Structure 1
């Protein structure tokens, strides 16, 4: 009896194995046919489905194969059949994920894709894929809601790095501030190259240079020749005033990175590094390269580079070069303002102060320019006349020719009766009265000098020169 029993069991198991093998053979044949886009692929899929219609995993493989070949109709058909295969016992969450992918990739209704992903979450709340895919779709509608959904994932899937994925969501939504705030909370040691790339950019462009450097250095451990990591490590070190460290990245970035096209911005920043290190030869070489590459579409503007070059020459007291580049700056900068044009007057003034042989010529140019600006910018008329007065006074020998008197008088006329003067305006008025007071004193008009002294003391009761004049008999 025992022999017969085991014989029957062996026959039954052999039959089961043969059936299972046949199902697998037919499924593999269908998958191969779909992948090779064979003319019989649809028929092979039907045969495989009939043999596996109670097996949702097998049916979903058919759907996924069609999805890979961009046959959306067949993919949708078998995804729905895979879900049906799980009923009535359960809904098949992976089928909803694929249906969501179909809508997200080929559909026009993001809400429908989100709905499918939400069903996947409902039926398999421990699978992080549903939350992530829902967030990726919903970020286009509301990045903050997408981030909130990821908090639900955190409760169900504690091993997932929610902060990093939230950072990714906000980066895709072009919200660098929120992207930075979330990436900053993530474990940097667990971030892959893509996340580190986003973290370094979000940090740098929101002004968090220490974190940008931290992310760049972590990225370089993974990919030492990565252009983005080397570039932003160099830039961040500059912003942190780590100039020698920034310099060490110059060679790495320009000579040891892969697949990079250097921009005018790269050369401009490199010039700034060399400038900080007082390496003038390399600084001007990099400025020139930046000027060669800059165009109307550049992130940095030609006029900004020209201004920086002019400032560098001014710092080095190479005044003729400073003037040359500042003239180019003024010629190409759109929407010039008072401050822009005042810059040229300041160069003239410093030139005159530094070179005795040029004092009269350059100081006169500066004064004349302030006179022009007083007419061109009425809102700055007080300041422009005040500055012109100071320059004219430099050309006067102990007030002998009263060269500044007319301009200081204009300042007095404009400010003396003004009720709501600012602190700066009080200073300009006091200085103008001071000139008039000493001018009167030098011309031996003590009464007038005392009159101006009293006006000064109304503004500043402790102003010593005015107090001294008051004591005169």
Structure 2
């Protein structure tokens, strides 16, 4: 009887620890549900989406760069560039040196088909935070056809600061493959697949 209870206790503790570990690995901001609601409303009920976004950005949240850029990204993903740019301005006012602001502005420039400006903004994000992996990847993806050498160089810089970052291997393989460097593409894909 005691062994059975001890086993249950150990299993319950293991489940609690595992749940705590998983929750610690993927923290979800408390405002994420509000952003998801804006996302669900943006196409069908833009006025309500705008109202919800306004509610989210009240008080101290108007200085929360992550929240403001998340809302801007919802509008950008929905193809509403004017609204995305309006929230970009709010994010800039909150912290114009935050790398996510530069990445967002680069994404908007890319949506407007201005690859040069987008890459300049991704470079700016890297300047503000040399560990901003997203900026390296987006720079490389933007230049993968137009300037493969620059894309490869940027990915190699990323690999230098984050050697185990799998997404870099994946994009590096894509750049090599798109430019008919099949041997190098196979090597990069192999690194990506092996892990």
Same fold (TM > 0.5):
yes
Q: Give the Cα–Cα distance (whole angstroms) in 2 for the partners of residues 136 and 24 of structure 1.
A: 27
Q: Which of 96, 103, 122 lines up with 1:97 in the alignment?
A: 103
What is the aligned partner in structure 2 of residue 451 from structure 1? Answer: none
Q: Which runs of 5+ in 1 are unaligned?
A: 1-20, 193-473
Q: Which runs of 5+ in 2 are unaligned?
A: 1-29
Distance 1:26 1:171, change over 3 A: closer
Q: Is the 8 A contact 1:163 1:183 kept in 2?
A: no
Equivalenced residues, count? 163
Q: Is the 8 A contact 1:147 1:166 kept in 2?
A: yes
Q: Give the Cα–Cα distance (whole angstroms) in 2 for the partners of residues 146 and 25 of structure 1.
A: 36
What is the aligned partner in structure 1 of residue 177 from structure 2? Answer: 171
Q: Is the 8 A contact 2:145 2:175 kept in 1?
A: no
The residue correspondences of 1:363-378 to structure 2 (distance < 5 A) are none
What is the aligned partner in structure 1 of residue 160 from structure 2? Answer: 155
Distance 1:189 1:30, change over 3 A: closer
Q: Which of 126, 129, 136 lines up with 1:131 in the alignment?
A: 136
Alignment deviations for residues 24-81 of structure 1 (CA, whole Å, 9 cap, x no partner): 8876654543254343333332343233211111112211211221111111221232
Q: Is the 8 A contact 2:71 2:87 kept in 1?
A: yes
Q: Is the 8 A contact 2:42 2:78 kept in 1?
A: yes
Larger relative contact order (Cα-Cα within 8 Å, sequence gap ≥ 6): 2
Q: Is the 8 A contact 1:164 1:183 kept in 2?
A: no
> TM-score when scaled to structure 2?
0.69
Q: Secondary structure at the match of 1:159?
A: coil
Distance 1:35 1:62, change over 3 A: farther
What is the aligned partner in structure 2 of residue 114 from structure 1? Answer: 119
Q: Give the Cα–Cα distance (whole angstroms) in 1 for the partners of residues 170 and 109 of structure 2.
A: 25
Q: Which of 40, 47, 60 lines up with 2:48 in the alignment?
A: 40
Q: Is the 8 A contact 2:106 2:122 kept in 1?
A: yes
Distance 1:142 1:53, change over 3 A: same
What is the aligned partner in structure 2 of residue 72 from structure 1? Answer: 81
Q: Which of 155, 166, 187 lines up with 1:185 in the alignment?
A: 187
Q: Is the 8 A contact 2:75 2:81 kept in 1?
A: yes
